Amino acid sequence: MKIVFMGTPDYAAHALECLIEAGHEIALVITNPDKPAGRGGRIAMSEVKQTALAHDLEIFQPVKIRANEAAARLESVQADVGVVAAFGQILTERNLSAPRLGCVNLHASLLPAYRGSSPIQQAILDGIDVTGVTTMQMDAGIDTGDILLQQKCSIDADETAGSLFDKLTRIGGELIVKTLNELEAGRITPVRQDETLATKTAKIGKEQGHIDWSRDAVYIERLIRAMSPWPSAYSKLPEGGMLKIWRAHPVEEAPAGRPGEIVEITKDALIIRCGTGALCVEEVQAEGRKRMRVHDFLLGAKPETGSVLQ
């Protein structure tokens, strides 16, 4: 099929690679403009652009896909289908109708659950056991289009957003190829989403990683995994400075204390009280330091029992 591909991060780049390997014609790759990244502010290309360059594909980087000139460029391709994966811009009706078969979106949840921009993190936060990937026929809404195909994926007890992202990326690449093959053969019957089952997710920002120690220990442990690797779960040390927490597990029996209080220190862990229960912290990262086991952290840092993380 003749495809216009729209996407930006590595999740989308893998899907693009899979479509290329499957023999589809990628007539145009649309991705967001290059932008400063990292502490040095060096201009960086999106992962999708890097993939497109590696395959010598035509690239278009509109600031606004909704603009008339961008819409006209999309229409000029006369593609069979548009494939959209984590593009980062909202398409108009004109954009969606430009390809002959419309646009197909690759979304990292089992729709209608977890619409929006953070389905992976929210699935871990909610403690569910199964999520997956959906391909859908896009409409003007946010992840509201008819379902084409779905593939389930289990969420392990120690799953982080990073590890689940990797699993769903692999599944998504396979599913988009299968979807286009079935769509071209006329073997897919779109299924309308059940609005009564719809849930939404919001964009994740750095502030979402700040730990509220008044929450129960089970929830905080899920937050730590959901925020890994970005923006990471963190708290503030009593003496100042940020402490990122990378690995922990809930414990039922621990000394009494206030939420956020370090109630016990062992050679390998910090035991911190929560609103309900306590958290045994095993891996941390102090501000300006590398990620390390608590055992190694304690060789240099000297936290005291009774001190309270904020």
Q: Last residue of a domain, which of 183, 201, 219? A: 201
Contact 110, 74 (CB under 8 A): no
Specify the pLDDT at position 302.
87
For residues 213 and 180, membership in a common domain is answered with no
- The span from the CA of 180 to the CA of 168, in Å, is 18
Q: How many CA atoms lie within 13 A of 161 on its CB side?
A: 25
Specify the pLDDT at position 252.
84
Contact 215, 191 (CB under 8 A): no
Question: pLDDT tens, 259-268?
Answer: 999 999 999 9
Q: What is the pTM of this model?
A: 0.94
Positions of the chain with pLDDT lower than 50, given as ranges: none
- The span from the CA of 262 to the CA of 260, in Å, is 7
Range of the domain at 26: 2-201
Specify the pLDDT at position 42.
85
Please tell me the total count of domains within the chain: 2
For residues 242 and 180, membership in a common domain is answered with no
For residues 197 and 212, membership in a common domain is answered with no
Specify the pLDDT at position 219.
98
For residues 70 and 212, membership in a common domain is answered with no
For residues 150 and 26, membership in a common domain is answered with yes
Specify the pLDDT at position 36.
84
For residues 170 and 70, membership in a common domain is answered with yes
Please state, in angstroms and as integers, the Cα–Cα distance from residue 48 to each residue in 14, 15, 87, following that order.
8, 9, 10
